[in-house]
Structure 1
Amino acid sequence: MSWINLNRDGDVWLMTLCHGDNRFNNESLAAWHDALDTIEASEGNAALVITADDAKFFSNGIDIEPILAEHGYDYFVSDFAPRLEQLFLRVARFPMPVAFALNGHTYAGGAIMASAGDIRFMRADRGRFCFPEVNIKIPFTPLMTEVVRLLPSTAGAWEMMSTGAAWGGVEAVAKGVIEHALSETELLPTAMAWAAEMAKKDRATYTLIKRRFRKSLDEFLPTS
């Protein structure tokens, strides 16, 4: 079973997560990077839409129990978590416009990943957006905190981070952490239309503006 399907419609790349609840583990991290490598290596102006094909989930976060069972806690802290953080960082600084079309539940690491995008579209009628870390006693790392700060409302982001609240699309828009709540039939076409319009922007100029606006992330770039 594959992790990601990658397609291109004109200047818009569509990256579809296709592995159930799309948790993060070693295999999925490799699949993410492979897809992003392909997109980044393409020439010319472009934009990216990231969604999932599951009827219930966009992403349910880290596949932590199997990772701990196979590799242990030290490996998780010293090896896996830093590599996941670098994936969040890569998406947050990705050199083109990036939209997330959140088709279902977007929890924990999945919500942090969605925070890394340039804009978020979410179903109004299904799925919740949630940072449960405070309830499961897993504090945000400094890099993860900076990625979550990219959400349009820092007040809404703080409320989610500090309470573990799980908001549906309509409430998430009202709280300012999601930009658009849409019906199932509107979700992907609207995100694709946004991406098609944004793909008209000069890629190099857009990337420079984006990375300067998100300069707080520079301290987390690898030094070697």
Structure 2
Amino acid sequence: MLDIEERSGVTVVRLRHGKVNALDLDLLQAITAAMHEIDEERALVLTGTDTAFSAGVDLRRILDGGTAYVEQFLPALSETFLAIFDRPGPVVAAANGHAIAGGCVMAAACDLRVMSQGTIGLAELSVGVPFPTSALEIIRHAVGPVASQLVLTAALLDPPQARSIGLIDHIELPAALLDSAVGHAQRMARIPAEVFAFSKRQLQQPARDRIAARSEDDQAVLAMWSSTDTQQAISGYLGALERSRSAR
């Protein structure tokens, strides 16, 4: 599910879960545990496998699990986003491929993002589900006012488009991606750990304040994810995807 290795003084956490690293409860719990178990001051690179960083929420598991699963899944999703966002030490996303929906939010939760190929963006509204508060505020922290464009259009961007709005910071060829991400993590790690952590916290504080102030919104999010209308919307979305693949 996760491969963890040390590379030139940086911890590399690689998602390896199914074909596209779809976010289910098991993967979320593994990522959160890794974020807490790895020395919080250590520089870290988060990456995926093959051509997928993460294609977002495993919607099939949402349908199959019903309300009981959703009630576990949504808090775990926010916990994972915040476990990445909250790390005091440097975190670099090496987006080796598609980073969609929850995958995009995980990348946005990192301090710096390097991408090689694929698309990145927020597809939730096209599926018919709303965002947890943590996801919206992490995206707002990463890209500022253009967050509304990303959320409300559900557009998927290629690396140059994503860089133009600050969603990613650097573009690399696939073969150079990991070395580049590790290099960026090493450079940030040269800053005294206490100074880095304090400065990061200062930058993130407005987002943290908004998350704390709107915690009640997540009850409404849970209700919408659990509703019959949303289940039908997810089912329709998955059906359309399957028909599109069959027509190719």
CA distance in 2, matches of 1:17, 1:25: 12
CA distance in 2, matches of 1:5, 1:218: 33
- 1:72 pairs with 2:70: no
Structure 1 residues 173-184: aligned runs within 5 Å: 173-184=163-174
* 2:150 matched residue in structure 1: 160
* 1:9 matched residue in structure 2: 7
- 1:91 pairs with 2:92: no
Which string of whole-angstrom CA distances, capped at 9 and with x for unpartnered residues, describes residues 94-128 of structure 1?
A: 120100010101101101111101010011xx300
* 2:37 matched residue in structure 1: 38
Higher normalized helix content (fraction of residues): 2
Structure 1 residues 1-224: aligned runs within 5 Å: 3-19=1-17, 20-40=19-39, 46-54=42-50, 56-69=51-64, 71-76=65-70, 78-123=71-116, 126-151=117-142, 153-215=143-205, 216-218=207-209, 220=211
TM-score, length-scaled by structure 1: 0.86
CA distance in 1, matches of 2:166, 2:149: 11
Give the deviation of 1:218 after TM superposition.
4.8
Higher normalized strand content (fraction of residues): 1
Local SS of the residue matching 1:87: helix
Aligned residue-pair number = 211
Which structure 2 residue ranges, 5 or more long, are not aligned? 216-248
How big is the alpha-carbon RMSD for the aligned residues of Structure 1 and Structure 2?
1.9
CA distance in 2, matches of 1:175, 1:14: 26
Give the deviation of 1:186 after TM superposition.
2.2
Contact kept in structure 2, 1:101 and 1:122, CA below 8 Å: yes
TM-score, length-scaled by structure 2: 0.79
In structure 2, the CA distance between the partners of 1:30 and 1:143, relative to structure 1 (3 Å rule), is closer
Q: Matched residues, percent identical?
A: 30
CA distance in 2, matches of 1:219, 1:168: 29
Which string of whole-angstrom CA distances, capped at 9 and with x for unpartnered residues, describes residues 125-147 of structure 1?
A: x3000211121121222221101
Structure number with larger C-alpha Rg: 2
After the TM superposition, list the runs of 4 or more consecutive aligned residues in structure 1 that deviate by more than 3 angstroms: 218-222
Contact kept in structure 2, 1:46 and 1:97, CA below 8 Å: yes
Contact kept in structure 2, 1:157 and 1:177, CA below 8 Å: no
Contact kept in structure 1, 2:137 and 2:210, CA below 8 Å: no
CA distance in 1, matches of 2:16, 2:76: 21
In structure 2, the CA distance between the partners of 1:160 and 1:37, relative to structure 1 (3 Å rule), is same
Which string of whole-angstrom CA distances, capped at 9 and with x for unpartnered residues, describes residues 24-78 of structure 1?
A: 112112211232233136xxx5311111122x21101111222331x312540x3
CA distance in 2, matches of 1:22, 1:29: 10
Contact kept in structure 2, 1:93 and 1:210, CA below 8 Å: no
Structure 1 stretch displaced more, 80-89 or 213-222: 213-222
Structure 1 stretch displaced more, 156-165 or 105-114: 156-165
CA distance in 2, matches of 1:75, 1:16: 25
